Amino acid sequence: MVKKIKQKPTEKKEILNDNNSYTAKDIYVLEGLDPVRKRPGMYIGSTGVDGLHHLIWEVVDNSIDEAMAGFAKNILIEILAENEVAITDDGRGIPVDTHEKTKKSALEIVLTTLHAGGKFGGKSYKVAGGLHGVGVSVVNALSEHLQAEICREGALYQQEYSRGKAITKLKKVGKSNQEGTKIIFKPDPEIFKDIKFDTKKILDHLRQQAYLTPGTTIRFKDYREGTKLSSYTFHFESGIIALIRYLARDYKRLTRNVFYVSQEKENILVEVALAYIDDNESTEASFANNIYTPEGGMHLTGFRSALTRSLNDYAKEQEIFKNGNGSFAGEDTREGLIAVISVKLQEPQFEGQTKAKLGNPEVRTAVEQIVSESFKEFLEINKEDAKRIIEKSLLSAKAREAAKKARENILRKGILEGTTLPGKLADCISRRAEESELFIVEGDSAGGSAKTGRDRNTQAILPLRGKILNIEKSRFDRMMSSEEIKSLIVALGTAISEDFNLNKLRYHKVVIMTDADSDGAHIRTLLLTLFFRYFRPIIDHGYLYIAQPPLYRIQKGKEVHYAYNEAEKQEVLDKIQGKTKEKETSKSKVRKLKLVSESKEESILAVEEPMPESKTDELAELKGISIQRYKGLGEMNPDQLWETTMDPAQRVLKLVTIENAENADRLFDILMGKEVLPRKKFIQAYAQKVQNLDV
């Protein structure tokens, strides 16, 4: 995302009425699905990309619920022309008979009423993801048009809706020898300003659901105009064991076997799979009734407790710790871990409709007991895997202690010696973080230009010498021994790891400013890796930026232009040459018109006659034009660096964002990690798509 920094206009408060009255007439009662259209974000999270795709998830969830209940085996998701989506399953079909209380069909109630469905009584569904009964009704409310087709008891029924209201009556339109539900909906452009479905986003979600619903076939087809027909099928008999193998596909496995357990306790089905890889990071994916819980919850807490306790008990039994003293911390046992925790229960307690976290305390107990018993047995049977897990945990524990000492040393040094800021930092005068900027600059030469050209009131400069340590290949203790990284930590003011405190960040704009060449790109990637792994909240809160220095300085007389890439350079040259040719053509036009004034036809031909070509076309075209290619920021004068890259009124900054943390995590592992083969495959796959490669 490229963002020009501009001052936001002051917002004005709207005055509701003149006399500040507050009576019964000021109370509005929203009926039916009006609350959804009034506040869509409360039900789908947002009206942006995530909210748009949430419509698909809600309908798919209903089909998945049918599959989990044992009534559906096939689910089809189709993206049709004109932003329509069709989702079909071969389940029982939504009931169409008349509801005794409302005198409307059950289908119409489900599609037009919040908190209405077959998931509350506990008879139709033992477990379900669509707990709140708002899913498909919310989709209906936020759709310009929705059509429901139901196959039940040998008949095909159909009814149409618009923005949450039925526009046709339920009617029997034919016979059918199948059963199931088909929902076709078109998102409402009044709600969603940018309606563009992301194929990859949809496939990732469907693949995940197929892993969690073993034996179910999920198909996807894309019929949109202008796109090549896409067709994908997901079917996994081994369920989350296959998911573990998928998540570990780019890494070297430490454990030969995948631990797996599936047991029920107190009406809670617990399913857990895990393996260890040769990596410093961990991946824990938790689900409740097939719904991904990115913030974890009680099931994840119970799993972590069981894992740590089991490994500590095993280590003590094997006399791993000297003199019987010592133990693993939770983070020690999770280094290199890939785990999937899936629970299914009748009454899940989610936090909000987006279901980011599971809150049932009884789930923690069930998961903890089942995993503790089963994982202990796994360790006793698989001695070689147990040995590798213990060795990995021991190494992690030693690194943690070393890192703790190094971290404490930095903090202690800063406090006791009074050198809270590194000497190489040219700090700004302002102490207000919201207006202060830190430029992380490549090299002393560029640092010198930046220090001279900056606005000293609000802009601080921290030059780095050479390429910083690749933290993806290094443990935390080694990272903390790097002088460049220590300088950056102290300059930011946030500390690091468990001591990190975003409120102490000294600058609300942290700008990575490196050369516009391959070395500069590498340094930028190393810094991005560091921020992603250890200063993630800085990215999440929109405080990290990338500067855009120009590649070329182009001058014609007193007129100076800057170009940031090859395309802009050519555009500037065409503009300058166009002006030159225009002037020369204008002069020759007058002369030629005078010479052939007797014939209008000849006059026109004379005006359009091309200028004589020089033998050295390129030199002739660039005559009087000076082109300077900057090899680095250090070649720019302070005033040039200020004008092009640092001046808030003219500069262009790229805001660093993370749309998909899981994919970003994997990409950093591939590009910056220890394993060479995944990186080689990535380069081979994407090399031809690289433009303007600076070798």
Marked catalytic residue, from 78, 160, 517, 675: 517
Amino acid present at 17: N
Collapsing DSSP states into helix, strand and coil, what is residue 529? helix
Please state, in angstroms and as integers, the Cα–Cα distance from residue 328 to each residue in 298, 388, 390, 519, 687, following that order: 21, 15, 10, 40, 43
Which helix (H) or strand (E) segment holds residue 161: the answer is strand 155-162
Collapsing DSSP states into helix, strand and coil, what is residue 187? strand
Phi, psi of 206 (to 5 degrees): -65, -40
CA angle 568, 570, 572 (to 5 degrees): 70
Please state, in angstroms and as integers, the Cα–Cα distance from residue 555 to each residue in 428, 585, 629, following that order: 33, 22, 12
Asked about 442 being catalytic, the answer comes back as yes
> What is the distance between the alpha carbons of residues 568 and 552, in angstroms, rounded to a whole number?
9
> What is the distance between the alpha carbons of residues 427 and 451, in angstroms, rounded to a whole number?
9
Phi, psi of 541 (to 5 degrees): -90, 5
Asked about 222 being catalytic, the answer comes back as no
Q: 410-413: which pairs have CB atoms within 8 A and are 24 or more residues apart? A: 410/480, 410/486, 410/489, 410/490, 411/495, 411/499
Asked about 515 being catalytic, the answer comes back as yes
Marked catalytic residue, from 144, 271, 279, 515: 515
Marked catalytic residue, from 278, 519, 647, 665: 519
Helices (H), ranges, 543-565: none
Tokens matching residue 533:
């792994």
CA angle 645, 647, 648 (to 5 degrees): 110
> What is the distance between the alpha carbons of residues 214 and 340, in angstroms, rounded to a whole number?
14
Give yes or no for a contact between 148 and 94, defined as CB atoms under 8 angstroms apart: yes
Give yes or no for a contact between 168 and 159, defined as CB atoms under 8 angstroms apart: yes
Tokens matching residue 374:
């089963």
Marked catalytic residue, from 332, 442, 472, 484: 442
> What is the distance between the alpha carbons of residues 512 and 22, in angstroms, rounded to a whole number?
52
Give yes or no for a contact between 669 and 582, defined as CB atoms under 8 angstroms apart: no
Which of 510, 362, 534 is CA-nearest to residue 440?
510
Q: What is the DSSP letter of 260?
A: E
Asked about 198 being catalytic, the answer comes back as no
> What is the distance between the alpha carbons of residues 47 and 40, in angstroms, rounded to a whole number?
7
> What is the distance between the alpha carbons of residues 512 and 601, in angstroms, rounded to a whole number?
61
Rg (CA), the chain: 32
Please state, in angstroms and as integers, the Cα–Cα distance from residue 654 to each residue in 536, 549, 551, 567, 580, following that order: 17, 11, 16, 19, 34
> What is the distance between the alpha carbons of residues 290 and 208, in angstroms, rounded to a whole number?
9
> What is the distance between the alpha carbons of residues 257 and 273, in angstroms, rounded to a whole number?
10
Query: Which residues touch 281 (CB under 8 Å, ≥6 apart)?
Result: 335, 336, 533, 665, 669
Please state, in angstroms and as integers, the Cα–Cα distance from residue 91 to each residue in 74, 198, 289, following that order: 8, 27, 18
Q: DSSP letters of 338-402?
A: EEEEEEE-SS--BSTTTT--B--HHHHHHHHHHHHHHHHHHHHH-HHHHHHHHHHHHHHHHHHHH
The sign of the dihedral angle between the CA atoms of 15, 18, 21, 27 is: negative
> What is the distance between the alpha carbons of residues 311 and 318, in angstroms, rounded to a whole number?
10
List active site positions: 442, 515, 517, 519
